[in-house]
Amino acid sequence: MKVLIIDDEMNICLTLKNILEDEGYECDFALEHKTGMNKFENMIPDIILLDVRLDGANGIDLLRDIKKIRKDTIVIMISGHSGIKEAVQSIKYGAYDFLEKPLSLTKVKIILKKAFEFHNMSKDYSRLKTNENEKYKIIGNSEPIKELQSLIDRIAASDSKVLIRGESGTGKELVAYAIHHRSYRKDKPFAKFNSAAIPTELIESELFGYDKGAFTGAVGNKSGKIEQAHSGTLFLDEIGDMSLKAQSKILRVIQEGEFERVGSNKTQKIDIRLIAATHKNLEELVQKGEFREDLYYRLNVIPITAPPLRQHPEDIPLLVEYFSNQFSNELKLPHKQFLPETISELRSWEFKGNIRELRNFIERLYILIPKIIIKPEDIKNLGIAKQPDSNFWNETLSLKEKRKEFETRYLSIQLKMNDGNISRTANALDLQVSNLSRKLKELELN
């Protein structure tokens, strides 16, 4: 741990330096502003002990300069002449603590020890935050993903409620986190609640929390997801699976901004942004009486759809590389290289489980295939076959209609595999460009 002392009294600098070096710190000092800044930039200390009043300079101004350069540097202010005003200013501009002269060396050691622990905790938090951001990263450069990212940017700035639609495995949770991460609430909690993953009888207690004695087994108070999300974002995944009773309570949270724990009469105010997601058709559920119409309209303020993988197969190479890096690190295995023809094979597959199915496939491949170079036959022999569309072949239509349907679907996939490039697609299919263009126009394919 590196400590820099900036004080215009030589005896204080030398005393602190000797004591701190005995404690195992790497220590240096400066007697004035300019030297202090030079040593700060060269030494990159973890902690700075900074005098409020330096010869010809203001220590608080120096504190502000230090924080502009390296926000995570811990600065402890010291002074023999300052009062409450300077202490408040120091804390306002990011000082960790404020010490008065004459210094108690025992107190200095204690504060440095706490600052050291805080420094390590901050580093751990930053690392976890980086890992979390990486985990929730939306991968893709296709037009559908670019449009999705652009919409997320516009949505994030407001506090409006969002309803994310999309098939299973399309990354609805990633969209929700991206909205939270780009909003002013990004440093506040992001609490997730999946209605489909929790038994109906436990939904209320998990969502709203409970007080001691609320039911058999409630031996203490417990906060629910709503309470945990206070000042941040609450993500209600698979909202279509929520019971009508829980729906009515959620509606009250939205309308009144308040709730009660199970078994409690105490009303609590709450400040959250609500994002919901579902793969179900909520309009049909409303018609069946299985989903509250008023809640549907409350949630569906800003609708957003996570596109299925079949709409952006051009992102498959990026996704394969991303998941390959992920599982290489997690499983401590050599990074695998996918040949271009292997990627082309994967792009022709129908991933009904979307990105989640592709991710699971790459994980399975890392575990079961010891090879470094992955060829098309390797993935074909993995036991993961493309699911044929039996309805397509069994449906009885005129040959002309069926041929048109086949040509439309086949050419759509081939175009996507070739990034929409007609010349490249024509070459791959051994067709004249003019013939392919004419066929696309006939089939009304853009």
Q: How far apart are CA 428 and CA 327, in angstroms?
A: 33
| Domain annotation for the chain: domains and CATH numbers | 2-129 (3.40.50.2300), 143-307 (3.40.50.300), 324-380 (1.10.8.60), 390-442 (1.10.10)
Give the model's pLDDT for residue 387: 47
Instruction: Write the burial class of residue 367 (CB in 10 Å: 0-12 exposed, 13-18 middle, 19+ buried).
Output: exposed
Contact 211, 263 (CB under 8 A): yes
pTM given for the model: 0.63
In tens, the pLDDT along 384-402 reads 545 445 455 656 678 888 7
Q: pLDDT digit string (tens) for 53-89? A: 887 778 888 898 898 888 888 999 888 765 667 777 7
> Beta-strand (E) ranges in 261-330?
267-269, 273-278, 302-305
pLDDT band at 381 (very low <50, low <70, confident <90, very high): confident
Q: What is the pLDDT of residues 304-326, one digit of tens each?
A: 999 999 999 999 999 999 999 99
Contact 240, 283 (CB under 8 A): no
